[in-house]
Structure 1
Amino acid sequence: MRIKYLLTISVMASLLVGCNDKEKVTDVPTNAPADQSTAQQAGDNVTDQAAYNFVEFSLDVDYSATESYEVEYEDKRSGIEAKLEDDRNNIRLQGDEAYTKLDPLFKQLNFDSTTPNDEVIDQVIKVFNIEDNYQSIEVEVEFVDGNEKEFKRIK
C-alpha cells in the first residue's frame, strides 16, 4: 500500500515539474497576435487579427562554439511563449520580459512564405542588429497561412 502512494506521489511530482510556465507571456497586450486556430474557430479573419505574419518564429545565430543569440516565439492556443538568449550581452529573458523586447522587432519584419532566403536573412540581420562576425544564421518560421519555412546562411 505504501508503495502505491509513493508511486502516485512520484508521478504527480514529475507532472508538476514538467508543467513549466516560465516562458509563458501572462501580460499580453490587446494588440498581440491572435492564435491562428483560435481565430479560425471563432470565425475571425486571421490576417486582420495577427500583429505579425507568423505564429512561430525561431532565430539561432552562432558567433562561436560558446556564443550565440537565440529567439523563440510561439503563439499557441494556450497562450504566447517567448524567450530571448544573448550570450554576448549575458541576456536571458523569458515570458513577458522577452515579449516586451521582441514585439517591436517582430513588427518590423515584413517577409512572408514567398520571400527569397537572402531577403529574409538580410531583414533579420538588420532588425535584430546581428553583428557581421556571425558564423551561421538559421530562421524557422510558421506563417499565419500555415506554411513553415527554414532560412539559413552559413559564412
Structure 2
Amino acid sequence: MKLKLLLAISFVMVILYGCNKDEVKDVPTNAPADQNASQQTGDTPTDQVTFNFLEFSLDVDYSATESYEVEYENKKSGISAKLQDDRQNVKLQGDEAYTKLEPLFKQLNFDSTTPNDEVIDQVIKVFNIEDNYQSIEVEVEFMDGNEKEFKRLP
C-alpha cells in the first residue's frame, strides 16, 4: 500500500514538473503584458508592450514528419514560450525559447485588421520560412481581444 502511494506521489510530481518547463522565469521588464493582469497591478499595458499580441502560434508543415512550431502565451499566470524546429533538431522551452523569439516578435507589425496575405508574408520573412512548406498557419490573440487565424498553402 505504501509503495503504491509513493509511486503515485512520484508520478504526480513528475507531471507537475513537466507542465512548468515552458514557463518563462526570467521575464524582461519590457515584456508585453496581459491587459487584465496589468490593470490589476496598476501598470498600463502601453508601458510594457513590445508586441501587440497576448498569444501567438505558428505551425509550418514541410512534410508529415518535419515542421516548425512556435507557441507563445502571455496570461495572468505568466509567460510561456516554445520553439520546435524539426529540420534543425531544435526544441526550446521557457527562457531559452523566449530569448530566441522576442527579437523575431518585435519585427512583426501586423494587427487584427491586416489582411491574411500580409500577415503570412511577414511571418515567412521574419521567421525565415523556407519556400517548400506544405502549409503555414498562424493563430494570434491580439492585445485588443481579437483572435485571428491566418493560413496559406503553397
Q: TM-score normalised to the size of structure 1?
A: 0.89
Q: Secondary structure at the match of 1:96?
A: helix
- Equivalent residue for 1:145? 144
Would you say the 8 A contact 1:58–1:141 is kept in 2?
A: yes
Question: For the residues of structure 2 that align with 1:133 and 1:126, how far apart are their CA atoms?
Answer: 14
Gaps of 5+ in 1: none
- Equivalent residue for 1:99? 98
Q: What is the CA-CA distance between 1:47 and the residue it aligns to?
A: 3.1
**Cα deviations by residue, 1:40-84 (Å, 9 ceiling, x for unpaired):** 223433233211100110000001111100001111222211110
Question: For the residues of structure 2 that align with 1:115 and 1:58, how far apart are their CA atoms?
Answer: 17
Gaps of 5+ in 2: none
Question: For the residues of structure 2 that align with 1:64 and 1:76, how far apart are their CA atoms?
Answer: 32
Q: What is the CA-CA distance between 1:8 and the residue it aligns to?
A: 5.7
- Equivalent residue for 1:87? 86
Would you say the 8 A contact 2:29–2:48 is kept in 1?
A: no
Q: Secondary structure at the match of 1:120?
A: helix
- Equivalent residue for 2:108? 109
> For this pair of structures, how many residues does the alignment match?
152
Question: For the residues of structure 2 that align with 1:148 and 1:13, how far apart are their CA atoms?
Answer: 39
Give the fraction of aligned pairs with identical amino acids, expressed as a percent.
Answer: 74
Would you say the 8 A contact 2:60–2:67 is kept in 1?
A: yes
1:65 aligns to 2:61 (yes or no) = no
- The root-mean-square deviation of aligned C-alpha atoms, in Å, is 1.7
1:25 aligns to 2:24 (yes or no) = yes
Q: TM-score normalised to the size of structure 2?
A: 0.90
Question: For the residues of structure 1 that align with 2:148 and 2:47, how far apart are their CA atoms?
Answer: 22
Would you say the 8 A contact 1:47–1:144 is kept in 2?
A: no
